Amino acid sequence: MARPPCFSLPYFLLLFSVVSLLLSRHHVLADSHFEGFEADDDEELDSLSTESLPLRSPSPLTRSEPVPDPVPDPVPSYPAPESQTADADHPKQPSSTSFEYWDEDEFEGLPIEPPSPETTTPRSADSEDTKPSDRSSDPKASPVRKKAGTSPRSSSYVVEIACGSFLIMFVINYFTGKRENENIALAWAAKFAAKDSIFDKNFSLLGVGDGDDSPLLLKEGQNVFKFYASGRRYCQGLLATMELKSRHDLISRLYNMVVPCKDEINFEVYMNDDAMDHVVFAVAKKKAAKVMHKEVRDLQRFASVLSPPNGRKWVAEELAVISESKEVAGDLISEAALDQVLGEKAFEKHGKGFISMHFSDQHLGTHKKMLLFKFALPNVNNMTDMTRLVALIPYYIDQIGRYKLSAQARSKTDTARTKAAQEAYKELQNARQDALQRKKAEKKRLMEEAEARLSAEAIRKKEAKERSRQMKKGMPRVKMTRAH
Amino acid sequence: MSSHGNLSAANDPRQPSAAKPYVPPAVAPQDLPVDYSGFIAVIFGLFGVMFRYKLSSWLAIIFCAQSIANMRNYENDLKQVSMAMMFAIMGLVSNYFGYARPGRKS
């Protein structure tokens, strides 16, 4: 499965934690939602709680006319409202601010009543003002409400402004990032795939279209570019895939500031069937080599990590070699390769972009015989740094194309491969048998279903037929011949 | 490198007769890389609509934008992205132009 680099599961987990944070924050709000407040923001929650305060204090006072005595009693104590509920005149006797919510739950639907006398009193401030305490409470109520009303309005635009500006930045970054990636890809193509470049000298067909003017690069996504070349001895073709950083995506760009990422180019060379002998070989940096040995199937199965041999020049210290046979490794790591890229001195200067190299004739996938090279792309302006790395490719195509194993090496590799081939064959057989069995079971099931659907009469008929058939079978066979 | 310098006609590594045109490999829809940002956009959009949470709807729009930016296979991904966009826009509309809730505007 091809994944864009640096955009993987940890990123997904990070976002899930954000989601869970939002959820947990929402839990608080959801509770208030169920209580009937329907508050969206904390400010509104506060506003409602402050709103309820003015509701509580004047109501016992406004209702003091019919029930003067019990009104002051419920204020301090909790059991008092219970005794007052027996009155049933004004069941709503909120005692103190600490029992607001209890009262709300207890007396649903009633909250509508107190606001109406409360809202009418400020509007008709002069008319019907019986108590001076009303007037004193109104100025208290209205400024409190006004404050509660304005605060969410001014702060409510923060979310919109923040998200809107992020979206604008996202769009701007999309176009700039897209152009940056295109420039990198074009710079690479101009250096290595244009006229008189290394690929032009090695392959007769460049690009993905027909004719001379075919486009060299195929753009598969804003950060994935492909280059195809074909028409060379020993190989059927070469496919280079450039996977660049997601510069067009602002979120990925921010993520890559935390988790570093590289621009990579991946070369796949499809070797001809007769051009490659039994070679399973890989070179990579030490840690990466261990990971490759564990994860890549053919390396895991056939090859092992080699220790540097004594008495001959070997690859640089940071690199490790994985190979099926030491002889093959020794032959492939030739003097020329060491001098150019893989040796100690050369690797320091030119090997910065080298990530890994993997030759296999048992590669998993559509094509079995493949050479895989992975390099890091340099800066737009430093494309020439990669020249020696790219030069490794035609060199190794020829090396592998011409290479023949010695007799002993071949015998060793043969046994391993025949075993692998047998296992593959067995698996294929098993798979085929499973498919056949499944088909048979399906057929049986269908037939049974069809039988079950038949009506009762038809069943009886069938049974009669079956019985007669059985009887015929049981009866002795009487041979009959013609009379004459 | 030896072959790199060989430009004489006899050693020209090119074989025009062996050239095969490029055939893009067919990828089954199940094997396509998972569109995480589209999935997250759908989730945020759902939250925004169900719980009337503005920030969630806005985040859904942002992740939709990311999903569109990263879209590679126009036919397959467009369906999920359009679904996510619908949820997000629905969330935003219901948040801003929905019915005035009691107790909110006094």
In B, minimum Cα distance to A17 occurs at B40
Distance from CA of A149 to the nearest CA of B (A): 7
For residue A129, give the amino acid letter.
Answer: D
Nearest to A230 among B19, B25, B54 (CB): B19
Q: Which residue has the higher pLDDT, B72 or A13?
A: B72
Pick from A174, A204, A222: CB nearest B19: A204
Please list every residue in chain B whose beta carbon sits closer than 8 Å to the beta carbon of residue A230.
Answer: 18-22
Name which of B4, B19, B72 is nearest A395 (Cβ-Cβ).
B4
Q: Which residue of A has its CA nearest to B102?
A: A38
- Single-letter amino acid, residue A434: D
3-state SS record for chain B: CHHHHCCCHHHCCECHHHCCCCCCCCCCHHHCCCCHHHHHHHHHHHHHHHHCCHHHHHHHHHHHHHHHHCCCCHHHHHHHHHHHHHHHHHHHHHHHHCCCCCCCCC
Flag if B58 and A224 touch (Cβ within 8 Å).
Answer: no
Please give, rounded to a whole number of angstroms, the shortest distance from the CA of B20 to a CA of chain A.
6
In the numeric block, which tokens belong to residue A198? 């290394």
Strands A354-360 and A217-221: unpaired
Residue by residue, what is the 3-state secondary structure of chain A?
CCCCCCCCHHHHHHHHHHHHHHHHHHHHHHHHHHCCCCCCCHHHHHHHHHHHHHHHCHHHHHCCCCCCCCCCCCCCCCHHHHHHHCCCCCCCCCCCHHHHHHHHHHCCCHHHCCHHHHHHHHHCCCCCCCCHHHHHHHHHHHHHHHHHHHHHHHHCHHHHHHHHHHHHHHHHHHHHHHHHHHHHHHHHHHHHCCCCCHHHHHCCEECCCCCCCCCCEEEEECCEEEEEEECECCEEEEEEEEECCCCCCHHHHHHHHHCCCCCEEEEEEEECCCCCCCCEEEEEEHHHHHHHHHHCHHHHHHCEEECCCCCCCCCCCCEEEEECCHHHHHHHCCHHHHHHHHCHHHHHHHHHHEEEEEEECCCCCCCCCEEEEEEECCCHHHHHHHHHHHHHHHHHHHHHHHCCCCHHHHHHHHHHHHHHHHHHHHHHHHHHHHHHHHHHHHHHHHHHHHHHHCCHHHHHHHHHHHHHHHHHHHCCCCCCCCCC
B83 to chain A, minimum CA–CA distance in Å?
19
Contact yes or no for B14 and A2 at CB 8 A: no
Q: What is the pLDDT of residues B35-54, one digit of tens each?
A: 788 888 888 888 888 888 88
Other Cβ atoms less than 10 A from the Cβ of A116: the count is 9
Check A22 against B1: CB less than 8 A apart.
Answer: no
A83/chain B closest Cα distance in angstroms = 30
What residue segments make up the domains of chain A, in order of their start? Answer: 189-406
Q: Using the beta-carbon criterion (under 8 Å), do B44 and A249 form an inter-chain contact? A: no
| Chain A / chain B CB contacts < 8 angstroms | 152
Q: Under an 8 A CB cutoff, do A19 and B40 touch?
A: yes
Measured distance CA(A342)–CA(A330) in Å, rounded: 13
Q: What is the pTM of this model?
A: 0.65
Tokens representing A284 are 């990579």
Using an 8 Å CB-CB cutoff, list chain B residues near A168: none
Substitution target from A224, A251, A272, A388 for chain B, most B beta carbons within 10 A: A251
- CB contacts of B41 in chain A (<8 Å) are none
pLDDT category, B21, cuts 50, 70, 90?
confident
Does the structure show a pLDDT above 70 at B99? no
- From chain B, pick out residues whose CB is under 8 angstroms from the CB of A4: 33, 70
Residues of A whose CB is below 8 A from B24: 218
- A230 and B20 within 8 Å at the Cβ level: the answer is yes
Contact A323, A308 (CB under 8 A): no
Per-residue pLDDT of chain A (484 residues; tens, 9 = 90+): 444 445 556 656 666 666 666 665 555 444 444 444 444 444 444 444 444 444 444 444 444 444 444 444 444 444 444 444 444 444 444 444 445 555 555 555 555 544 444 444 444 444 444 444 444 444 444 444 444 444 455 557 888 899 999 999 999 999 999 999 999 999 999 999 988 899 999 998 888 877 667 788 988 889 999 999 999 989 999 999 999 999 999 999 999 999 999 999 999 999 999 989 899 999 999 999 999 999 998 888 888 898 888 888 888 889 999 998 888 998 999 988 888 888 888 999 888 899 999 999 989 888 889 999 999 999 999 999 899 999 999 999 999 999 988 888 888 888 888 988 899 899 999 999 999 999 999 999 999 998 888 766 787 888 999 999 999 888 776 777 777 6
